[in-house]
Structure 1
């Protein structure tokens, strides 16, 4: 078995490799080990990922890669594994069924399985199948002990000891039945919300535009719902959103905006819009693309109770001095390694199987 330190070192080398792919552009570094084998090849995979899925713009892919580069440092990885005793695990085969809503959305599960010393069997979404296999080849090159521990499959899953599966609420019911006899983590659809209080500033609203628009709002950490006080003036909110006005120049986003606007108008729903974003009063958490739902609240205590009751539906709560585990404005798409999806500690699960 590969030592825990060698696993950490391999992933930190991957983080260093990814540091060449930033939102500011590509920057080939001479210090990267065997870059001649991987740099141009990964540029090609980025291009293929864009061509396969038009939601995966170059900007969104590079944002994801830069975020992972920042996370995969030796210090961050060491702190991550120090939370759980994973040194003496017997290696198991762990199947990971990945979603495909944003680039590399399943990478945290992939990392967690391998960093714990297990073997991973990856079933990717057809929407995101180009990036991870290439990064797996990089890991196998810098740490040959990973060879034979990483498998990608499109077939029915067999010969596995545990499973981590992410999907919609409908597919989760199938997962619950199909994997009921195996140790599992089954993730359903979740959304993120922002709580607006009198402490929120104009700068916070501009930062909130990152939480709303990054990945076109397709991520579970994307803010799709606002809670606002009675008589709230939406002008500061729309002023903050204006920082992302160029998003309407994306054809697929614009088509969704036009379609959803037409549906709302034909249904005679009340809505406010600014030419690239609509807001609509609605109790639901999951809003369509180019739309953010909002709901008024009477007092903060009742709202805190409601958010606690609905915690199984919520991924992140963006707020300012409102809740203990709130996320700061502009930070939903910058999770730490220990910001576990659905609040389930993946390393603890993997250490117990």
Structure 2
């Protein structure tokens, strides 16, 4: 069995393990206990990583890491093109396992990972590394986590903010690279959405407390839009205010808005504020009115480099269905940059 096939099988087995764990299929498996402990530690180190959100992320990967899904994804590429290389990954830590797609892309194309983990998300990925090495000991030399300065790599994939991207460009810009900046996701509403669609939109807004680049941080609504229907549909998410870190952000941002005399709409767990920018703070959702859909489409096209997902129903090209932003497929590449193609051609 060649190295690529061994790696492939290890990821399929990882998917089966995560699926069993998320469905609480009780097995006498010490790795179940280790993952339980890792979830507790991840939450201890990063208060945003609640068990519910970590399990959501793990179950998403369990669904994707099947033999059928992986084959379907990789069949689009000629993996024999790959020249073995070491790829440096600089991972973000805003949501659980946010850098995992880059991680599997590097390994499944037959390359070596040298990764700088975010201190906000170093527990879960370390557990997965240990489990993969348990399944396939050969992977030990293909996965290196580096705490110091990264060196001796052939390409880099770095994810960060608009600020850190300038730093990344300075250090890594000369060699082959993918450097990602801040992006946000939005929804375009027509006013004719069903309660079920608007309720599903709540998943896009509240999942991971809105911390992901696939989290909806702003909505575009037609002039005269009735916000009551939106608030009623979102009401089932009201328990989010019981999470301390979220509640602190809600209180703080509400106080800032009121002191600045901004006009806001508020339902006790999320604040709606009219704003032309895309990145709303935690516990806030920006909105903007539109009069002409075609003019809005043009604006969004021109500003597409700031956007990750657009949620709508039959309005926008390449739209994402309500409730689906946090369930990307293997081919849904961040910033629409094909990571696998980059790795094979570098």
Match of 2:19 in 1: 19
- CA shift digits 1:111-139 (9 cap, x unpaired): 00000000000101111110111111111
For residues 267-311 of structure 1, the C-alpha deviation after alignment (integer angstroms, 9 at most, x for no partner) is 000000000000000001000000000001111111110110010
Establish whether residue 9 from structure 1 lines up as the match of residue 33 from structure 2: no
8 Å contact from structure 1 (residues 2, 117) kept in 2: no
Normalised by the length of structure 2, the TM-score is: 0.98
Taking only aligned residues, the RMSD between alpha carbons, in angstroms, comes to: 1.2
Between the aligned partners of 1:277 and 1:65, the Cα distance in structure 2 is 27
Point out where structure 1 has 5 or more consecutive residues left out of the alignment: none
- CA offsets 1:140-177 (integer angstroms, 9 cap, x no match): 22122212000001100000000000000000011011
In the alignment, is the contact (CA less than 8 A) between 1:8 and 1:78 conserved in 2?
no
- Residue equivalent to 2:118: 125
Cα contact 1:21–1:62 (8 A) shared by 2: no
- The question of whether the paired residues in 2 share the 8 Å contact of 1:218 and 1:289 is answered with yes
Which of the numbers 105, 110, 126 marks the counterpart of 2:103?
A: 110
- Equivalent residue runs for 1:13-92 within 5 Å: 13-22=13-22, 26-29=24-27, 35-36=29-30, 38-92=31-85
Give 1:243 deviation, angstroms.
1.4
- Cα offset for 1:74? 0.6
Which of 204, 224, 228 is equivalent to 2:217? 224
- Which residue is 1:134 aligned to? 127
Deviation, 1:2, is 4.2
SS of structure 1 residue aligned to 2:141: coil
Work out whether residues 217 and 224 of structure 1, in 8 Å CA contact, stay in contact via their aligned partners in 2: yes
CA contact (8 A) 2:83 2:344 kept: no
Cα distance in structure 2, aligned partners of 1:213 and 1:344: 26
Deviation string 1:228-271 (CA, Å, 9 cap, x unpaired) is 00000001111111110100011111111000000000000000
Instruction: Give the C-alpha shift of residue 27 in structure 1.
Output: 3.3
Gap runs ≥5 in structure 2: none
User: Are 1:191 and 1:224, in contact at CA under 8 Å, matched by a contact in 2?
Assistant: yes
**TM-aligned CA deviation for residue 20 of structure 1:** 2.9
Give the equivalent residue in structure 1 for 2:261: 268
Question: For the structure 1 residues 180 and 72, does the alpha-carbon distance in structure 2 shift closer, same or farther, using more than 3 Å as the test?
Answer: same
Matches within 5 A, 1:267-286: 267-286=260-279
Query: CA offset at residue 88 of structure 1?
Result: 4.1
Provide the C-alpha distance between the structure 1 equivalents of 2:278 and 2:261, rounded to a whole number of angstroms.
21
TM-score (norm 1): 0.96
SS in 2 for 1:301: helix
Relative to its length, the structure with more helix (as a share) is 2
